[in-house]
Amino acid sequence: MDTSSISFTALYTGQVWYENGLSAPFFSTPRGRLMYLGMQPLEWMSEKAFGTNLHHLLLQRHHIMDYRIAELIEQGATQVLEIACGLSPRGHLFTRRFPELHYIEADLPDMAARKKALLDEKNAYGPHHKVIPCNILESGAPHGLDYILRNVLDPAKPTVVITEGLVNYFSLQAITPFWKTLAEIGKEFPNLWYFADCYPLEKGTKTYNFIMGSMKALGTITRAEVNPLFSSDQHAIGYLNDIGFGEVKVHEPETFYTQLNIPKSRNKTFTRVIEAKV
């Protein structure tokens, strides 16, 4: 695998964060700006027809994750691993907000090198901040999740692991070994919390048909398969419980409408943020 198949989402989401005041200017790219502008007619049509769009989805999940992760840091988490970091501004911003926080950004080697070069050029690292290559389909040194959890992170510290915008590029069968490894090695930490986004869909509904059509279109653009992993919130909770996560919550954007400045969908949302604790 390399980052070419998902470079669209890395650049587009990076631009969405910047356009909405969530990112630094150096995370904005010419290609990202072009993609952002090119998507505006489709985003407008989607919002008018269905009460939401990809732009809303991205902001809803990002704000919810930021809010909960910041709460956990304030409550004692001292270490963060953000896998598939892309052009996420989270490491840059959180290491300034929490100077003692150890923050590891990880991505496939090409994207990790690009992110590292960008942060080096802008001298934008926090005091305990680094970018490393990682491939969740590998095991062992130097890129495997097991190696990174035990040798790059400190297993003595309460830790948060993030995979925003990643797991839905895999089938449930393909992503499960990654989750099992995380849950098993997570038991070696005093506490480990895991965050991911998902989009539970019940087959045969109008929403299912719309989302599947959108996912197929996104898959065509990114040259990667995009999947709804679960049929319901309870399916997600039960599945992650069964493979080793002791506490699993599924956050709906509606819960945060009065707390956070996030887009409000006209209809019931289908974006979900998984928060699982080992």
Q: How confident is the model over 180-211, as pLDDT tens digits?
A: 999 999 999 999 999 999 988 766 666 666 66
Q: If we measure between CA atoms, which residue out of 264, 197, 182 comes closest to residue 227?
A: 197
Q: How confident is the model over 226-238, as pLDDT tens digits?
A: 778 999 999 999 9
Domain-embedded: residue 60: yes
Look at the chain and count its residues. Answer: 278
Domain-embedded: residue 1: no
Three-state secondary structure call for residue 111: helix
| Structure-token pair, residue 77 | 């988490």
Amino acid identity of residue 140, one-letter, is G
First to last CA, the chain: 29
| Structure-token pair, residue 66 | 């930021």
CB atoms within 10 A of CB 49: 10
Number of folded domains that form the chain? 1
Taking the C-alpha atoms of residue 225 and residue 168, their distance in angstroms, rounded to an integer, is 8
Q: How confident is the model over 65-77, as pLDDT tens digits?
A: 999 999 999 999 9
Question: What residue numbers bound the domain in which 109 lies?
Answer: 51-200+228-277
Domain-embedded: residue 99: yes
What percent of the chain stands above pLDDT 90? 69
Q: For residue 184, what is the domain's CATH number?
A: 3.40.50.150
Sheet containing strand 129-133, edge to edge, reads 129-133, 102-107, 79-83, 159-163, 192-198, 272-277, 247-251
Q: If we measure between CA atoms, which residue out of 195, 171, 175, 173 comes closest to residue 82?
A: 195
Domain-embedded: residue 55: yes
What percent of the chain stands above pLDDT 70? 88
Q: H helices of the chain, where?
A: 7-19, 30-50, 54-74, 90-97, 109-122, 145-147, 172-186, 206-222, 233-242
Taking the C-alpha atoms of residue 84 and residue 274, their distance in angstroms, rounded to an integer, is 16
Taking the C-alpha atoms of residue 142 and residue 151, their distance in angstroms, rounded to an integer, is 9
Domain-embedded: residue 160: yes
Q: If we measure between CA atoms, which residue out of 262, 236, 259, 258 comes closest to residue 249?
A: 236
No. of helices (H) and no. of strands (E), the chain: 9, 7
Is pLDDT of 57 > 60? Answer: yes
Q: How confident is the model over 108-151, as pLDDT tens digits?
A: 998 999 999 999 999 999 899 999 999 999 999 999 999 999 99
Domain-embedded: residue 100: yes
Domain-embedded: residue 177: yes
Domain-embedded: residue 129: yes
